[in-house]
Structure 1
């Protein structure tokens, strides 16, 4: 019976990971202005907020049957979906108010919003005229926000049977929603890469940029690097960076019988080999963890570190630049947060420099990894 339940759960998890549509991305060349000032960042931010708010408002007109069909699911958790929508509306309102602070410098997409009712009203009638300066962006943006919203609604619909970053289980968990405006944190999963590899390039690149990130390592991958190159090389690899843990293998920790041992073994290895870089953070692969795991993490002094901006760089359907463009669009929408890349993906060699160049003059801040 236990084996049957295990395989049943794994089939459900695999179905959740494989979303029915390709990940959403938005060609940023359709936006006619470069983000060369904080005010121009705000213009683009206001536009993305209104476009997403419009998509969110439209989704609320769907009844349960229509929503199931749209998400490609037979059963959905309406309560979690409703909670997600409420949180999204609250964040959209806060973000729009922040983005409007520069309206005296550029009034594009500045509308009267003094609360939730007026935001919903503006979202309902939001459209781009055919002769607008921004018309080339209008349809690609509409498609992006609908697809991105569906990604999020689908995760909420499956929660908590299939856990993900869409919802927190308790105080031992965090994501990027509480960060300050215009502040972002870089995180990288599933490393270190094989030697030599993307992790080596990435940590060197970050040091040259005087930046730091949190790397969530797999115990087996770290052990391979340790066996091949030794302790000093592993310490040099992560110099100036932070290292959290992601378990011994990149697999779901929600239905794995040895999930606790996976975390304990990896934590012990990292503390022993690179103690000066260790931070007490666990990043669950796929965002999947047990609903009752809070006590374990508290006892171990670990925080579950989730994210709210996903690069989707493991998707074969997205190029490196498309992954970076997705991240930038979500940075404009959410205005702060934890960005999740994978340092085992070669795409990051192109995606990260593109992202940093595109935002270099936009007044953003990058959180020091030790603050995460």
Structure 2
């Protein structure tokens, strides 16, 4: 009976979702300026904010059938979509207000905007002249933001039946939006894997500390094949959170609590100096009523607001370019890479090179976790 119910649930879920939407990617070479000063970071940030706001505004004209068709779904949760849209508008206004503080130094993409209502009006008419210095950026940026918005709205349309990082279940969950302006944090999922050693060594050489969310079974396999000393050397100077015993949905798995507790015990025992009490749910999927359990375990749920999509077909540079565009849009946040992918190091190196003079900062992983 239980197996039949699970199969039925899976079929219903499959029936509600069609093929994956095209991923948002953007070739940053079409932006005509290097981000070699805080002011130029703000110029690019204002441009991306306005472009995304335009896509968001246009999407609000779609009725439910048109929106479902655009998102490749049979039905959508309009209440969830509206809630996410309202939050996005507030974040866009906050970010634009921060980005316009440098308008006296460079007035590109500066308009008289003093709140969400004015931002919405500006978004409705936003355009870049054909002979503008930024004309080559316009069409490709529009495509990127329409695709990226589709990614967010699709997740919102399925929330909370299918949980994801698009929305928090409580204020106790963290997703990077609580960081200060221009402050970002590197995180890596689903390790340890093929790329972990080289990546961790690279980060140490850059004097950066990231949070690696590890799988209990992968960590145990790594220790058994090498040694406990090698395992501790692998993550030296880094922070290690947990992602469960296996990479599978902790929203549907009957043994999700056991998965969390086993992986927590494994990391605390093997990596006591690197362990931080943070849990990242695979796929962002966790139960709506799970907060009490995580509090009881002394864990915080950590999501993300900037995803590299590096676990699929994107190249390292494409992933990094996507991340940089989203950094300009959100101006703060939790960046999700996957260290099981060997291309993660290449992507991070590209990203650091592009932002080295832009005035951004990198959050210390121990400080974020509240561990001195």
What's the TM-score, normalizing by structure 1?
A: 0.96
When residues 303 and 8 of structure 1 are mapped into structure 2, their CA distance, relative to the original with a 3 A threshold, is: farther
| Match in the other structure for 2:367 | 371
When residues 73 and 14 of structure 1 are mapped into structure 2, their CA distance, relative to the original with a 3 A threshold, is: closer
Q: Is residue 2:138 matched to residue 1:147? A: no
| Match in the other structure for 1:39 | 39
State which of 187, 192, 197 in structure 2 corresponds to 1:200.
197
Please say which of residues 57-66 and 17-26 is displaced more in the overlay.
17-26
Q: Is residue 2:255 matched to residue 1:258? A: yes
- Aligned positions of 1:52-67 closer than 5 A: 52-67=52-67
| Match in the other structure for 1:320 | 316
Between the aligned partners of 1:170 and 1:53, the Cα distance in structure 2 is 26
Cα displacement string for residues 172-231 of structure 1 (whole angstroms, at most 9, x for unaligned residues): 3111111100000000000001xxx31000110000000000000001110011101111
Between the aligned partners of 1:101 and 1:7, the Cα distance in structure 2 is 54
Q: Is the 8 A contact 2:192 2:219 kept in 1?
A: yes
Partner of 2:178: helix, strand, or coil?
Answer: coil
| Match in the other structure for 2:343 | 347
Please say which of residues 172-181 and 205-214 is displaced more in the overlay.
172-181
| Match in the other structure for 2:22 | 22
Quote how far apart the aligned CAs of 1:13 are: 5.9
Please say which of residues 10-19 and 302-311 is displaced more in the overlay.
10-19
| Match in the other structure for 1:276 | 273
Partner of 1:130: helix, strand, or coil?
Answer: coil
Cα displacement string for residues 74-124 of structure 1 (whole angstroms, at most 9, x for unaligned residues): 111111100100000000001001000111110000000011121111111
Quote how far apart the aligned CAs of 1:139 are: 0.4
When residues 18 and 185 of structure 1 are mapped into structure 2, their CA distance, relative to the original with a 3 A threshold, is: farther
Between the aligned partners of 1:182 and 1:7, the Cα distance in structure 2 is 45
When residues 15 and 368 of structure 1 are mapped into structure 2, their CA distance, relative to the original with a 3 A threshold, is: farther
Between the aligned partners of 1:144 and 1:344, the Cα distance in structure 2 is 26
Cα displacement string for residues 147-175 of structure 1 (whole angstroms, at most 9, x for unaligned residues): 00000000000001100001111243111
When residues 190 and 53 of structure 1 are mapped into structure 2, their CA distance, relative to the original with a 3 A threshold, is: same
Between the aligned partners of 2:15 and 2:231, the Cα distance in structure 1 is 36
Between the aligned partners of 2:98 and 2:341, the Cα distance in structure 1 is 34
- Aligned positions of 1:38-187 closer than 5 A: 38-187=38-187
Quote how far apart the aligned CAs of 1:10 are: 3.9
| Match in the other structure for 2:331 | 335
| Match in the other structure for 1:7 | 7
Between the aligned partners of 2:192 and 2:13, the Cα distance in structure 1 is 25
Partner of 1:173: helix, strand, or coil?
Answer: coil
Q: Unaligned 5+ residue runs, structure 1?
A: none
Between the aligned partners of 1:123 and 1:64, the Cα distance in structure 2 is 22
Between the aligned partners of 1:17 and 1:326, the Cα distance in structure 2 is 24
Q: Count how many residue pairs are aligned between Structure 1 and Structure 2.
A: 368
State which of 280, 288, 291 in structure 2 corresponds to 1:291.
288
Partner of 2:336: helix, strand, or coil?
Answer: strand
Quote how far apart the aligned CAs of 1:17 are: 8.9
When residues 208 and 30 of structure 1 are mapped into structure 2, their CA distance, relative to the original with a 3 A threshold, is: same
Q: Is the 8 A contact 2:17 2:74 kept in 1?
A: no
Please say which of residues 161-170 and 15-24 is displaced more in the overlay.
15-24
Q: Is the 8 A contact 1:6 1:255 kept in 2?
A: no
Please say which of residues 208-217 and 14-23 is displaced more in the overlay.
14-23
Please say which of residues 15-24 and 228-237 is displaced more in the overlay.
15-24
Q: Is the 8 A contact 1:172 1:302 kept in 2?
A: no
State which of 308, 325, 346 in structure 2 corresponds to 1:311.
308
Q: Is the 8 A contact 1:16 1:162 kept in 2?
A: no
Cα displacement string for residues 279-300 of structure 1 (whole angstroms, at most 9, x for unaligned residues): 1111000001111111111111
Between the aligned partners of 1:16 and 1:344, the Cα distance in structure 2 is 30
What's the TM-score, normalizing by structure 2?
A: 0.96
Quote how far apart the aligned CAs of 1:304 are: 0.7
